[in-house]
Every structure is written in structure tokens, then in C-alpha cells.
Amino acid sequence: MTIETVRTVAELRRTIYQWRAEGLSVGLVPTMGALHAGHLSLVAKALQQCDRVCVTLFVNPTQFGEGEDFKSYPRDENADGEMLSQAGAHLLYAPDVDEMYPDGTTATTEVNVGPLGDVLEGASRPGHFSGVATIVSKLLLQAMPDKAYFGEKDFQQLMVIRQLVVDLAIAVEVVGVAIMRETDGLAMSSRNAYLSADERAAAPVLNSAVIYVATGFRSGSEPSALIAKGETDWLAAGFSTVDYIAVVDSASLNPISDFDPARPARVLVAATLGRARLIDNISVQES
């Protein structure tokens, strides 16, 4: 059965209102399309926990900075819709830019979560998390789901969204879903499509070095030495730049220097290989 597609807030709310009237719970899976198995794992989790699942498809211009890949970001709504139909999702919400930003992308209320969005990815991509927080707030308020599902690959994004939901008192449970990886360890990402064959062969070094840093830190090694080794490995493998690699407190994202088994910690990284800017992370406790 082909998934139903709606393109306006009014249509979205009409469908979800009907589900509510039938006493059904609603799960929301926000995406920018170019779907892969990682996205489908979010849909699968939502189907396990909710009666109805709505997937959103919107390439949000306000979270892309100058010179980033907004125009070239992969788009194939037909393929995405087919994948979602096969996965069992019930509704696809695919608005255009005018529907999401009626007064234009530069004349809009913005949501800013403060320091949590200013470090790491936020420092490398100024304004990125304001764009993310704004569009996710819009989607949550438009759909008002019981639960919303986000992948842990974008770990800082997940923390930002959890913060905005608390701060804005949006009545939704934010569910984080584990990273889906290729067999060689590379985190699944829509941007992996940018990699050439040689770059794809080198890309798993990103994950192996993150594991090296996490296990070394858990064993008591100094983070700075571990990070330096990780950067060396990536550059030797052909990565052109390393935006950041950090060992941080999982809740605050503040850097930490000493391992504490009772304090959840995470290693986060962003690096560029060819045209692809890749991110990854791992829990220190679970590595």
C-alpha cells in the first residue's frame, strides 16, 4: 500500500486529529529524506511504540551555512516514499519551504538553546543548531506527537532537541535510537553517497579511531594524547580536515579529562573526506 502524503499543516493536523479521535498514539520521525536503513530503524522503533507513525521529509535551509550542501543535498521523494511504504509508516509529511516559512527564512522566530548549541558542531557551523531547533520545534508543534524519534548519530542534535522540549514545555517524549552502521563500522548517513570508492574504503577509519579514543580514555589514558593519535590516523587515511574530536560529559557536552564510571561520557568527532563531512560518536562506557 502506498503511503499517504500530505504537504500542508492543515492536512497534517486533520489526519492526526482523526487518529487522536480514534484513541491512537502517534509517533513522529523527522528526516531530510535521502532515506537509508538508519532512518528505517527510527521508523521501526516508532512502529513498536506507537499506533500510527508520521515521517516528515523537509530539507531545512536554515540549518545549512554559507557554502554548505543545501542545493546538492540528495533528494528523491519517490524512492523515500516507497521505502516508507514498505517499512509500514502511515503518513509522509513533505511540506515545501513556503509552508514551513511563510514569511521567508530570514523573517522568522528562531529557537536558540544557548551554550549546548554553541560548542562542537555549533562552533564549527555557526547558526546550525538554531536552524535545527527552530524547524524541530515547528514540526513538533504542528504534529503534537506522543513520541518523536531521532538517531544518536547526531548526538549533539539529540541533546539540543531534548533541551528545547524541556525549555518550551512541549508535551512529547524524545526517543534516541542507536546508530546504524555498515558492516565495516561506518555510521550510515545520507552524505556517504558523496564518497568515491577510494574514500569509502578509507571512511571506516573515522569509527576505528573514535573507538580507540573511547577505550583508551576508559582505561585511564590522557585524552589529549588519544585525540592527537586519532587526528593523525584520519589525516593519514585521506581526511582533509578534522573539525573537532572531543571527550565530553554526555549531558552537558562539556570536555572532561578524567574517566568516572558513574559519569556517562561520549567521544564526538567531525571530519571531512572528499566532499563528505562525516560525524560519529560513541559512548565511553559502552565502547
Neighbouring CB atoms inside 10 A of 4's CB total 15
DSSP-derived secondary structure for the chain: -PPEEE-SHHHHHHHHHHHHHTT--EEEEEE-S---HHHHHHHHHHHHH-SEEEEEE---GGG--TTSSTTTS---HHHHHHHHHHHT--EEE---HHHH-TT-TTSS-----GGGGTSTHHHHSTTHHHHHHHHHHHHHHHH--SEEEEEGGGHHHHHHHHHHHHHTT---EEEEEPPPB-TTSPBP-GGGGG--HHHHHHTTHHHHHHHHHHHHHHTT--HHHHHHHHHHHHHHHT--EEEEEEEEETTT--B--S--TTS-EEEEEEEEETTEEEEEEEETTT-
Burial 26-61 (b: 16+ CB within 10 A, else e): bbbbbbbbbbbebbbbbbbbbbeebebbbbbbbbbe
Q: Which of 36, 39, 90, 128 is catalytic?
A: 39
Does the annotation mark 39 as catalytic? yes
The residues annotated with a catalytic role in the active site are 39
